[in-house]
Structure 1
Amino acid sequence: MKKYAIGWLVVALVFSSLCVAQTEDKEMRWFSIDSLNVGLDAPPEAVKRQTPRESVRSFFDLTKQEEFEAAAHLLNLSKLSAAEQREKGSELARQLAAVLRRGEWIDTSNLSGRQDAAIVDPSGKNPLAGQPRRNLQLASLRAEGQSYDIRLARYRVGEENPVWLITPDSLSSVPLLYEEYGPSWLEEHVPQRFKSTFGSLQIWEWIAIPVFLLGVGSVGWFVHRLVGLVARWLPSGSPSIFAGEIRLPMALVVMTLVAQALLNYVVSFSAVATTSFRILLITILAWGIGMIALRFVDVILLNIKRRLVGEIDDTKPRDERKLLTSLYAVRRGIILVTVVAVTIYILSQIALFETLGMTLLASASILTVLLGIAGQAVLGNILSSFQVSLAKPIRMGDLVVFEDQWCYVEGIFYTFIRLRTWDERRLVVPVQYFTSKPFQNLSVKSAKMYRMIELSLHLNADIECLRDKFKEFAEAEKNVIEHHKLSCFVTAQTEAAQKVSFYLMTSEPFAGWEAEMNVREKLLAFIRDNHPEWWPREVVVASHHDMALGKRPTASPATVADGPDAGDST
């Protein structure tokens, strides 16, 4: 008997556990209620409430046809008495439809088409896949600084089929949201025949949106012209330059503010248009303010450059050119911080993280790879730009020889370096390309530079006389410095000529080139006017046999070809 009692006890425990599990499973699938909308008549056939998609789509279809009494069957009016349900149900449906149409665009295709609203994920990456849900969020709207959710829940009365309805808590905030998102002043005066829907917008919206854009654009054009006139009226200098640079961003900022004011107080469009305008206006406003800030920084840098450095070349002290290079590095840092701040602001304002959620996180690695491949050249140039700023192999105003061209470094930017050639041309070179090629920095330590003049002269040229004249001519040049380093040597010799080299130190490369040319011209003029016999000439060798036969003498191979054809022949 004792064994039988224990067996029955085990069976009872198992049965009770199964009942509890079944009860808990039902509680996870729906909310059990005693009654539902008793103040309303039986729902018409047009009301579909089996799945979240059917419920929301049915609600939109009925309210579009202004059948608000039927649409009230898609609301859970349990917080109202039976009399209030009949009286206020259709009004709440009308207000909720207006709020959803203007507040947040809901794509019913994204809602679950299953009765249990379980998430379908064949990949198995979603941990909630396959689990039934009984409460869904349709929208999250803000009014008076607070957020209010519109939620859809699954209810079951007794043994009837469960249905999906707007929750009572969501309906309690509808009057407040209606004050925020209800019809605008303009829409209240639009004739009823223009309120029919065409596509995703109403007919009056297809007319009002182009007029709205044209009006906002006219305001921007006026501000652009006005700021341009102000830039002309201001005295020349930093204020005038700053005003001229911010014409476009200032026009865009004013346009966005005017457009936002019109959307708040004059006209309101459906959610699909409002959402698009909202994202566009936030992006333009953040970009415009960021550009104004960057232009302000540019004007400050221009002031500092003019006062401390002046014209960009390597005649300025090394510390001043180093300071200017550091200032441009600071500018790039400010640009980077501004771009990051503007991006974060835009994402926070449009609630991108909330709307994308798991999708953004799941695709983050893919996006990273794609951006890395697509922006490899840009990212490489940006990193090279920071490398140049930190290591400083070049500075603003340095004179470099890049690919056989003499250039001043005029600007170091994020993705390119701007070089000014000696003939005032501008070379725009990608930073990564520039740093990957060997170049000469003639200003890395000091701007002064040795210059050399070579002359090919006859063997009878008086080197001591040339040395004295060279020192006389070189010391007369203002760009020749360190006169104690002036020197003259014979550096090569052939049978009939010798190569004489003159060395001088100049203050900077371009001035040194000019000094070299002047000294060369004076040396050549001195030799031409006073000692023309010093020019190299051909040595003629003639044998007695050739002279007897009357043949023309032949020149000796000892010929110097790089001197001018002057002087007497032997």
Structure 2
Amino acid sequence: MEKQINIWAKQLPPWLWNLAIIAFVLLIGFIIKVFIKLLLNYYKNKKEAEYSFFRSVVTHLSRPLNHFIPLFVANILLPFVALKDAYDNDVRRWLGIALLVSFASILMNAIKVLEDYVYYKYDFNKTDNLRERKVRTQLQFVRKVSTVLIIVITLSLILLSFDGVRKLGAGLLTGVGIGGIIIGFAAQKSLGNLLAGFQIAFTQPIRIDDVLVVEGEWGRVEEITLTYVVLNIWDQRRLILPINYFIEKPFQNWTRTTSELLGTVFLYVDYNVPAEPLRAELTRLLNETPLWDKRLGILQVTDVKETTVEVRMLVSAHNSSKAFDLRCYIRENMLKYLQENYPSSLPRIRVTTENNNGQDDFPPVKLQE
């Protein structure tokens, strides 16, 4: 086959032969692009919920393959291209650099294919998704570190392809110790954040989708990068914090071991409130709502103050969002129950006066607080 190609090369003028090779490479690229487009259109018509490893490969690797395969073919056919000696080395170098960059792009997108597979195996849409959040947090961090390493190695290989840079690198090795100390001191905070990122990824004080209370704000962990964490606050604001914040400062994690949560509802009522009817009403309300997970639902008189009695209701829910909604539901309906059935048990202030005989002049006056 190689002999036949050399025969064809000798039969054609150099410019025409080079043009034919370029046209052949472009044709291969066009055929690949059409084929991938047909595959994408085919998988687009399928249900989005269906996972397919082949579809993931086509989706993430279609773009890099569009330029990688033509460049790969061009590198194979390069020995048969008629070039002057003055241009031969430059063309080989730049074509090799382009192929290297294209291959790095394939590697970075291949990580996304792996990410899709892990997301499929560890589905987030669960009531208690602790294991899934663990895996996804580690995977996200590993993906970012791997991407940085691929970029650094690719740039290093590109620079080493130039003779001048190789000679310069050999000279720089003598001063790498002092340079490393200087760079380490200058990038102390950045390196601290990076090490904190490794610590968080594998010890996991926080994970993706964890519910946190930080700086007085309630929200979910939306993203963990190499240097900062994004917290999606309940009102759709974003709180950006340096990653070492979660190593150095205290914060609340409501989903550290499980998403299940207890919620409290307090009522402040008059001394004459009957506790048993309130317990019965609480049980009825809990049985009527899907927000309750049926683990805990109790009512207790927890304190007696100067003018009111403190009644605490302790209820449980599968996660923090349902716990908040359940507390609001119980608070609203228990207040309604008191208003309709025991209005005299609502908080009030009693005012009494005595005459000279020690008897009350006026009956108690009810004042709504």
TM-score when scaled to structure 2?
0.71
Q: In structure 1, give the amino acid aligned to 2:198.
A: F
1:295-306 alignment runs, 5 A limit: 295-306=109-120
Cα offset, 1:501, TM superposition = 1.6
Partner of 1:394: 206
* Matches of 1:220 and 1:378, distance apart in 2: 42
> For 1:401, what is the secondary structure of its paired residue?
strand
Paired AA for residue 60 in structure 2: E
TM-superposed CA distance for 1:385, in Å, is: 1.4
Q: Work out whether 1:473 is the aligned partner of 2:288.
A: no
Question: What's the CA shift for 1:330?
Answer: 4.5
Tell me the equivalent position of 1:91: none
Whose RCO is larger (CA < 8 A, sep 6+)?
Answer: 2
In structure 1, the partner of 2:123 is: 309
Q: Distance in 2 between matches of 1:406 and 1:217?
A: 55
Tell me how far apart the structure 1 counterparts of residues 368 and 180 of structure 2 sit (CA, whole Å): 67
Does residue 504 in structure 1 map to residue 315 in structure 2? yes
Q: Which residue of 1 aligns with 2:106?
A: 292
Q: Give 1:473's aligned amino acid.
A: L
Q: Which structure features the higher share of helix residues?
A: 2
Instruction: Write out per-residue CA displacement over residues 132-169 of structure 1, whole angstroms, 9 at most, x where no aligned residue.
Output: xxxxxxxxxxxxxxxxxxxxxxxxxxxxxxxxxxxxxx
Inter-partner Cα distance in structure 2 for 1:257 and 1:371: 38
The one-character-per-residue Cα deviations of 1:15-44 (angstroms, maximum 9, x if unpaired) are xxxxxxxxxxxxxxxxxxxxxxxxxxxxxx
Match of 1:364 in 2: 176
Report the identity percentage.
24
Provide Cα deviations, 1:254-311, integer angstroms capped at 9, x if missing partner. Answer: 5644765787555758969964x66554444333322322322322222222233233
Kindly report which structure 2 residues correspond to 1:34-53, keeping only aligned pairs within 5 A, or say none.
none
| Alpha-carbon spacing, 1:370–1:230, altered in 2? closer, same or farther (3 Å) | farther
Single out whichever of 317-326 and 516-525 deviates more from structure 2. 317-326
Query: Counterpart in 2 of 1:385?
Result: 197
Counterpart CA distance in 2 for 1:264 and 1:185 is 13
Q: 3-state DSSP class of the match of 2:244?
A: helix
1:455 maps to 2:267? yes
Alignment partner of 1:246: what SS?
A: helix
AA matched with 2:329: N
Alignment of 1:171-190 (within 5 A): 185-186=14-15
Amino acid at match of 2:267: L
CA 1:223–1:440 in structure 2 vs 1: closer, same or farther (change >3 Å)? Answer: farther
Residue 231 (structure 1) aligned with residue 40 (structure 2): yes
Structure 1 SS opposite 2:265: strand
Range 319-328 or range 500-509, more displaced: 319-328
After TM superposition, list the pairs within 5 Å mapping 1:77-156 onto structure 2. Answer: none
Deviation at 1:349, TM superposition (A): 4.2
Q: 1:278 and 1:425, CA in 2 relative to 1: closer, same or farther beyond 3 A?
A: farther
Could you tell me how far 1:531 is from its partner in structure 2? 1.8
Which runs of structure 2 are paired with 1:236-255 in the superposition (5 Å)? 237-238=51-52, 239-254=54-69
In the alignment, what sits opposite 2:358?
A: none
Report the CA distance between 1:345 and its aligned residue: 4.1
Cα distance in 2 between the residues matched to 1:273 and 1:407: 59
Please say if residues 309 and 324 of structure 1, whose CA atoms lie closer than 8 Å, have aligned partners that are also in contact: no
Residue 473 of structure 1, CA deviation: 2.0
SS at match of 1:409: strand
Unaligned 5+ runs, structure 2: 1-12, 356-361
Larger Rg: 1
8 Å CA contact 1:282, 1:349 repeated in 2: no
CA distance in structure 1 between the partners assigned to 2:179 and 2:101 by the alignment: 23
Greater CA drift, 436-445 or 278-287: 278-287
Report if aligned partners of 1:396, 1:409 keep a CA contact under 8 Å in 2: yes
The one-letter amino acid of 1:465's match is P
Counterparts in 2 of 1:250 and 1:462: CA distance versus 1, 3 Å: same
Q: Is the 8 A contact 1:448 1:505 kept in 2?
A: yes
Match of 2:9 in 1: none
Deviations 1:372-420 (A, max 9, x none): 4665554333222111122121233432223333333344343343444
CA distance in 2, matches of 1:327, 1:539: 64
Classify 1:365/1:298 alpha carbon distance in 2 versus 1 (closer, same or farther; 3 Å).
Answer: same
Give the match's secondary structure for 1:309: coil
Cα distance between partner residues in 1 of 2:219 and 2:271: 40
CA contact under 8 A between 1:322 and 1:395: conserved in structure 2? Answer: yes
Q: TM-score, normalised by structure 1?
A: 0.49
Shift of the 483–360 alpha-carbon distance from structure 1 to 2, 3 Å rule, reads closer
Provide the rounded CA distance (Å) in 2 between the counterparts of 1:441 and 1:521.
Answer: 28
Task: Name the CA distance, whole Å, in 2 between partners of 1:269 and 1:541.
Answer: 113
Residues 311-345 of structure 1, C-alpha deviations (whole Å, 9 max, x = no match): 3x7x3353343333344454356446544653554
> Number of paired residues?
340
